[in-house]
Amino acid sequence: MFKVLLADDEPLVLIGIQSMLDWSGLGWEVVGTARNGGDALQLIEEKQPDLVVCDIRMPVLDGLELAERCRERDEGLPVFIMLTSYEEFDYVRQSIRLGVLEYLVKMDLTAPALENALGRAEERIRKERALRSPGTGMAHAGGLEQYRERLFLQLYAGLFTSREAFRQACADLGLRFDAPCYAAAIGSLQNRTLTTAQMATLSAGVTTLAAQLLPKYLPCTVTGMDLRHFSVLFPLPAPEGLEERLRPTLEKAGDILYGYFSTRIFWAVGEPVEDILKLHTSQRSAFAALPLLNEGQRTVFCRTQAASSLDYHARRVAQVQEYIRENLNKPLSLNDVAAVFNFSPNYLSQLFAQWGESGFVEFVTATRINAAKDLMASTGLKVYEISERVGFDSAFYFSKVFKKLEGVSPRTYMQRLTLPEAEDRPLRRKD
């Protein structure tokens, strides 16, 4: 029998949900109901439910704040199903970031829809319980995966200054980097019609499927970077024949991903490097090649840039982008950067609009937030110190922008990066 808690500030909704299904017949015990997020949090601590079905908008704590409080203590349980009267994608996006299982609109809620959601919740709960069961050897699997992802992000950011520290980290995580050379490829999602929330959902799906698909053709590791890009690390037997080796795989994978998501994936491949600790230079050259991509040229290799008819404008955008990445702690307004390159602000704005993957301001903001995430993953700096390093005037404004783009506050994001370390603490669950 699984335990479920129901929370909604509307009494009629609570009554309706309770009477909608034969809960016990489906294997569920309703262990309590709450009219606000504060009472719900107290009941969660007392009753230890496996599932919480709650309204997103409630007094004291809303549904997302409630889920965030629970995630600070436990990464996996309870599972959350969110109910709302509003189809607001900002909430959907934050729900996704908090690992919420399902998002159901009250006015469209039916018994079959709720029962289907319970089926998915049961599957996730069983998996979570299996990971926690003694003797499975998997209790730290999720934590190890988080640490592995952090290591790849550090590699791409060029943050390893000690080769010995890198070797020790690889040994601890069971990773080996013994190929003769490596190349980083950037997968770029070409969809301009979606909202930020919809883009978050799409990006998560594409990155997950790419991580499953690409290794079937060539050895590689996929790492998510931001809403529009993911990186692929290819170990190679030699730097020669790079294009002949990678192009068929990338284009085939792009076609399959398009079939699933109706979104084109463009590929930019950086120059190969023989030292894995130089991987950031390969990724950087791949990013520099991104402006060369278009419908007629969906895959580009860094060495082929000079042959492109788009060379002039694309190179200008790439130069500005590189300047921004290297000078995040400096003023980077449109006027400031235009003056550095002796452009008019209007010309620089048009250059990004026509030849870049995003607008100027959007690119600066996304680059600063990505750099902040790299620092969070690799340093012990405080939030205000990170905000200063990436060029924000105040920690308050930095936190506001970070939460808007990532769905959680910088402090919560940093806590999640260190969550695996908390696994040694006794679990509060009584299963």
DSSP-assigned letters across all residues of 160-208: ---HHHHHHHHHHHT-----SEEEEEEEEEE--SS-HHHHHHHHHHHHH
Question: Which range scores top for mean pLDDT: 106-115, 224-233, 273-282, 287-296?
Answer: 273-282
Q: Which residues partner with 136 through β-bridges? A: none
| Average pLDDT of the segment spanning 234-240 | 91
| Reported confidence tier of residue 236, pLDDT bands at 50, 70, 90 | very high
Q: State the average pLDDT for the chain.
A: 81
Identify the pLDDT of residue 85: 66
Q: Specify the domain boundaries for CATH 3.30.70.270 within the chain.
A: 141-305
Give the whole-angstrom CA distance, residue 407 versus residue 392.
18
Superfamily of chain region 309-431? Homeodomain-like (1.10.10.60)
Q: Specify the domain boundaries for CATH 1.10.10.60 within the chain.
A: 309-431
Instruction: Name the burial class of residue 28, with classes exposed (0-12), middle (13-18) and buried (19+) by CB atoms within 10 angstroms of its CB.
Output: buried
- pLDDT tens profile 5-41: 999 988 888 888 998 898 988 889 999 999 999 999 9
Neighbours of 137 (CB within 10 A): 9
Looking at the domain covering 2-132, what would its CATH class be? Answer: alpha beta
Identify the pLDDT of residue 131: 54
| Average pLDDT of the segment spanning 64-76 | 77
Identify the pLDDT of residue 296: 75
Q: Specify the domain boundaries for CATH 3.40.50.2300 within the chain.
A: 2-132
Identify the pLDDT of residue 294: 74
Looking at the domain covering 141-305, what would its CATH class be? Answer: alpha beta
Give the whole-angstrom CA distance, residue 348 versus residue 339.
10
